[in-house]
């Protein structure tokens, strides 16, 4: 699933290529856009709120898109996908905007945007960094919820996806299964996630290790069954079907044990982020 940093970069590409241009042709193939014609409207700009993409037009309407697992927005060039997969096609003088396999598309009044994003927690990819203490407080709304599930709940904090729900607990030395209310130093864990996602939002690609920054690289995400990169213990995890929060998960049983109470390991954070440029974004500098 596209995470908040990806949606923020997508909004930037739309603005750079198409903002201020008039829609010259509009084709819709999404059931919620039947009869919609944006021809003649000017694209004012695109914005991101959590994982929601908001594309605003000068006629007072906003196109909301949520890419979920398989959706994509092709900006500029003509999409190669077959017509039935192109749910929306907008043509402009300087290129096209095509929604490919996007499951959620909705046209609403710009004044009604709060109806679809007003329930979201602080946006980790907003123009200004979120209040880390507020995010930590919202995460503990239900202290019995595993920390990974709390991070994925967009009502607590908007923008984190499953990569961060796996990688951030590993960096902090906390099991993703640890009840969020039993974690001491939760704000330091939040600090890690915000620092990395805001760096990848600006630079990309999504890299949590600091190695090979030009390519995606993760400590344990997608590596269930392999040796832990730090201690060599075989990594454990959940499948999507078995996970209480219905997302794949990975953790190291030795580095991230479940305990009655767990304290975020600041020394571990400093060590694992030593090579990552995002360390400069931490509120508590190494």
Has residue 125 been placed in a domain?
Answer: no
Closest CA to 166 of 206, 207, 221: 221
User: Is 1 a residue whose pLDDT tops 70?
Assistant: no
Token pair belonging to 143: 């202290």
Report the alpha-carbon angle 11-61-88, nearest 5: 60
Considering the domain architecture, whether residues 91 and 170 belong to the same structural domain is answered as: no
CATH number at residue 104: 3.20.190.10
pLDDT-derived band at 238 (thresholds 50, 70, 90) equals: very high
Contact 101, 70 (CB under 8 A): yes
Has residue 286 been placed in a domain?
Answer: no
Has residue 285 been placed in a domain?
Answer: no
Contact 75, 17 (CB under 8 A): yes
Considering the domain architecture, whether residues 89 and 192 belong to the same structural domain is answered as: no
Distance CA 234, CA 240 (A): 19
Has residue 124 been placed in a domain?
Answer: no
Q: What pLDDT score does 267 carry?
A: 96
What number is the average pLDDT over the span 14-18? 97
Q: What pLDDT score does 262 carry?
A: 97
Contact 30, 63 (CB under 8 A): no
Domain range enclosing 22? 4-117
Considering the domain architecture, whether residues 86 and 23 belong to the same structural domain is answered as: yes
Considering the domain architecture, whether residues 27 and 138 belong to the same structural domain is answered as: no
Has residue 196 been placed in a domain?
Answer: yes
Considering the domain architecture, whether residues 145 and 192 belong to the same structural domain is answered as: yes
What number is the average pLDDT over the span 203-212? 89
Considering the domain architecture, whether residues 139 and 271 belong to the same structural domain is answered as: yes
Q: Tell me the CA distances in angstroms from 239 to 69, 232, 243, 254, one per residue in order.
A: 16, 21, 6, 20
CATH number at residue 240: 1.10.8.50
pLDDT-derived band at 212 (thresholds 50, 70, 90) equals: confident
Element (H, E) at 28: strand 25-28
User: Is 204 a residue whose pLDDT tops 80?
Assistant: no
Considering the domain architecture, whether residues 167 and 229 belong to the same structural domain is answered as: yes
Contact 44, 63 (CB under 8 A): no
Q: How far apart are the two ends of the chain, measured CA to CA in Å?
A: 31
Q: What pLDDT score does 131 carry?
A: 96
Considering the domain architecture, whether residues 66 and 201 belong to the same structural domain is answered as: no
Token pair belonging to 140: 């503990």
Considering the domain architecture, whether residues 139 and 113 belong to the same structural domain is answered as: no
Mean pLDDT of the chain: 95
| Strand, coil or helix: 117 | helix
Report the alpha-carbon angle 197-200-204, nearest 5: 155
Considering the domain architecture, whether residues 179 and 238 belong to the same structural domain is answered as: yes
- The rounded percent of the chain whose pLDDT value lies above 90 is 92
Has residue 242 been placed in a domain?
Answer: yes
Contact 11, 159 (CB under 8 A): no
**Within a 10 A sphere around the Cβ of 35, how many other Cβ atoms?**
5
Token pair belonging to 66: 């949520």
Contact 170, 251 (CB under 8 A): yes
pLDDT-derived band at 142 (thresholds 50, 70, 90) equals: very high
Considering the domain architecture, whether residues 272 and 184 belong to the same structural domain is answered as: yes
Considering the domain architecture, whether residues 41 and 110 belong to the same structural domain is answered as: yes
Q: How many domains does the chain have?
A: 2
**Residue burial 264-281, b: 16+ Cβ < 10 Å; e: rest:** bbeebbeebbeebebbeb
Collect all residues with Cβ–Cβ distance below 8 Å to 112 and sequence separation of at least 6. none
pLDDT-derived band at 257 (thresholds 50, 70, 90) equals: very high
């Amino acid at each position: 699933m596209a995470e908040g940093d990806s949606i923020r970069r997508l909004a930037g590409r739309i603005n750079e290529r198409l903002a201020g241009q008039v829609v010259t042709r509009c084709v819709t193939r999404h059931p919620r856009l039947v009869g919609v014609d944006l021809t003649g409207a000017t694209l004012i700009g695109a914005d991101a709120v959590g994982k929601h993409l908001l594309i605003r037009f000068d006629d007072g309407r906003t196109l909301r898109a949520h890419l979920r697992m398989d959706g994509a927005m092709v900006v500029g060039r003509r999409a190669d996908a077959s017509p039935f997969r192109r749910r929306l096609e907008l043509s402009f003088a300087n290129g096209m905007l095509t929604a490919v396999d996007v499951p959620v598309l909705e046209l609403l009044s710009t004044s009604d945007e709060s109806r679809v994003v007003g329930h979201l927690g602080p946006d980790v990819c907003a123009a200004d960094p979120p209040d880390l203490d507020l995010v930590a407080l919202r995460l503990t709304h239900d202290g019995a919820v595993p920390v990974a599930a709390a991070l994925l709940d967009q009502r607590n904090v908007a923008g984190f996806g499953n990569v961060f729900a796996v990688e951030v607990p590993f960096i902090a030395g906390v099991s993703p299964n640890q009840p969020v209310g039993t974690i001491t130093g939760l704000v330091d864990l939040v600090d890690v996630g915000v620092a990395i996602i805001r760096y990848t939002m600006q630079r990309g690609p999504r890299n949590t290790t600091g190695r090979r920054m030009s390519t995606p690289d993760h400590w344990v995400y997608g590596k269930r069954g392999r040796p832990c990169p730090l201690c060599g213990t075989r990594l454990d995890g959940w499948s999507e079907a078995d996970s209480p929060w219905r997302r794949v998960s990975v953790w190291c049983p030795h580095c991230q044990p479940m305990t009655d109470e767990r304290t975020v390991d600041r020394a571990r954070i400093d060590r694992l982020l030593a090579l990552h440029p995002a360390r400069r974004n931490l509120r508590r500098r190494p």
